[in-house]
Amino acid sequence: MGMKLWTGRIQAETNALVNDFNESLSVDNRLYRQDIQGSIAHSAMLAKVGIISDEDAEVIKGGLDQILFDIEKGNVELSPDNEDIHMNIESILTQRIGEPGRRLHTARSRNDQVAVDMKLYVKEEILHIRKSALAFQNVLVDIAKAHVDTVMPSYTHLQRAQPVTLGHYMMAYAEMLVRDITRLEDCLARMDTCPLGAGALAGTTYPIDRAMTAEALGFKGIAPNSLDAVADRDFCLELLSALAILMTHLSRLAEEVILWCSMEFQFVELDEAFATGSSIMPQKKNPDVAELVRGKTGRVYGDLFALLTVMKGLSLAYNKDMQEDKEPVFDAIDTVKVCLDVFAPMMATLTFKKENMRTAAAKGFLNATDCADYLVKKGLPFRDAYGVVGRLVRTAVDKNTTLEDLPLEDLQNVCELFSEDVYAAINLENCVNARKVPGGPAPEMVLAHIVQVEKFITDREDNQ
């Protein structure tokens, strides 16, 4: 076991168990690129303010660029004896370039180094996730555009409620993604301060230029308080919260797909490329993709609660507990990305059974409210109209028919206000088309919503 970079006060060799317990390289090795990026910016700033020479900064940059190249080619062996990716890279750099490498860590601590690496990583991943979410949103909008006239039942309490269209249904999930994407953007905006220069927790006595490193690394400004800069993991918590909510929405849509492709609903047919079979039941066509998305949602919730629990009792500033931030953040990011990437093509290849949807809407008495509204327009108080239609539904159930198919005589036996025009009023398509309130399921309203969301998507795709 080699000499550790932090050997000073501690002279005894670290117990092997402690060494294994303490290391985070197995987790944080994915931060190599961000760590090198931060170190290059830091060394350039040190040279600019005269803390190290321009020659040393050039040698450091060349060494770090070569390490980055070698890591990506698989030609670097990282050692857990050096605990983490940060100390591994510094150790390799010093081995390769000698004395200049030992000057790199001037006016810097691993505390602000780790914080900047995590922020750089999270910023990049938010943009990747946003791109995937926008692509998924596009799929939902495409389905909606193709089905603005496809009548289907909506539900409350999982009971058929009122007629809507499949287009309206899909746009509900597209609107959820509007909120998911803007939450990610809000997180990105709030975390856009650079912690470099905060040192271990109290800054440094060196005349560093924090604004220079912030600008070089693409941050809008510097973290204004050195204690908070190294102790802050709000950006991780906020990301995990946004991802947990996003997964909630994916899980709800997954549940819809699972129900809709069952024999009990028969609203959709899964493409065979996104379904699996049973080992013993040859008739099965299982919605495993949707089920896994639903299951992995709990995993992302766990990531959020794990980090909340880590952070809840920590005094300022850095504590080793905070090393546990990476696994939940990395896991949640990986999980959301794979769920979005597989869910989008699954949804794009669904076959929707329009006739089954229309039949389900008709048999569910979804036009009962419209029938009551018809009587209200004839002068009957709503509560009285509600009671009349309730009795008609009972009659239709007894006769195994629908409100649309009840003879006018049966309607008039319950209320004399009914006339022939009632059948137009309770026609399912007319019921949907009449709901022209903004946000409603009438095709013109759904198309207006589609235009709005398409602009939302285009504005962001143009700036990616």
Pick the catalytic residue: 24, 157, 279, 449? Answer: 157
Specify the pLDDT at position 2.
Answer: 52
226 is catalytic: no
Burial class (CB in 10 A: 0-12, 13-18, 19+), 381: exposed
* Per-residue CA distances from 449 to 153, 166, 174, 440, 445 (Å): 20, 14, 10, 9, 6
Q: Average pLDDT, stretch 318-324?
A: 92
Between residues 92 and 277, the one the model is more confident about: 92
Write down the mean pLDDT value for the chain: 93
Own/partner contacts of 393-402, CB < 8 Å, gap of 24 or more, are 393/365, 393/368, 396/365, 402/362, 402/363, 402/365
Q: Of 26, 262, 278, 419, which is the active-site residue? A: 278
State pLDDT tens for residues 392-438. Answer: 999 999 999 989 899 999 999 999 999 999 999 999 999 999 999 99
pLDDT, tens only, 19-56: 667 678 989 999 999 999 999 999 999 999 999 999 99
Checking if the pLDDT of 228 tops 70, the result is yes
Domains and CATH numbers, the chain: 16-106 (1.10.275.10), 111-358 (1.20.200.10), 364-449 (1.10.40.30)
Give residue 363's pLDDT: 85
364 pLDDT band, cuts 50/70/90, is: confident
Return the sign of the alpha-carbon dihedral for residues 432, 433, 439, 443. positive
Burial 445-458 (b: 16+ CB within 10 A, else e): bbeebbeebeebbe
Tell me how far apart the alpha carbons of residues 184 and 336 are, in angstroms, rounded to a whole number. 13
Question: What's the pLDDT score for residue 6?
Answer: 43
Q: Is 136 exposed, middle or buried (0-12, 13-18, 19+ CB in 10 A)?
A: buried
Q: Band the pLDDT of 1: cuts 50, 70, 90.
A: very low
Residue 118: C-alpha distances to residues 30, 64, 244 (Å): 10, 19, 19
Do residues 327 and 253 make contact, with C-beta atoms less than 8 angstroms apart?
no
DSSP 277-313: --SS-TT--B-HHHHHHHHHHHHHHHHHHHHHHHHTT
Higher pLDDT, 15 or 202: 202
> 8-12, 122-126, 154-158: which range is least confident on average?
8-12
Q: How high is the pLDDT of residue 12? A: 54
In this prediction, residue 9 carries a pLDDT of 52
State yes or no: is 168 an active-site residue: no
For the chain, report the end-to-end CA distance as a whole number of angstroms: 46
Instruction: Give me the phi and psi of 151, to 5 degrees please.
Output: -75, 135
Please give the model's pTM, rounded to 2 decimal places: 0.90
CA distance 425 to 216: 65
Average pLDDT over residues 354-382: 92
Nearest to 212 by CA among 201, 196, 228, 236: 196
Residue 107 pLDDT more than 70?
A: yes
Would you mind telling me the total number of residues written for the chain in this entry? 464
For the segment 81-87, the average pLDDT, to the nearest whole number, is: 92
CA 348 to chain centre: 19
Question: Lowest mean pLDDT: which of 11-25, 39-53, 77-91?
Answer: 11-25
* Confidence (pLDDT) at 366: 86
φ, ψ at 221 (rounded to 5°): -170, -170
Closest CA to 223 of 188, 200, 196: 196
Angle subtended at Cα 199 by Cα 196 and Cα 200, rounded to the nearest 5 degrees: 135
**Residues 208, 45: Cα–Cα separation, whole Å:** 7
Dump pLDDT digits (tens) for 440-451.
999 999 999 999
In the predicted structure, residue 79 carries a pLDDT above the cut 60:
yes
Share of the chain above pLDDT 90, in %: 86
pLDDT tens figures, 279-315: 667 566 889 999 999 999 999 999 999 999 999 999 9
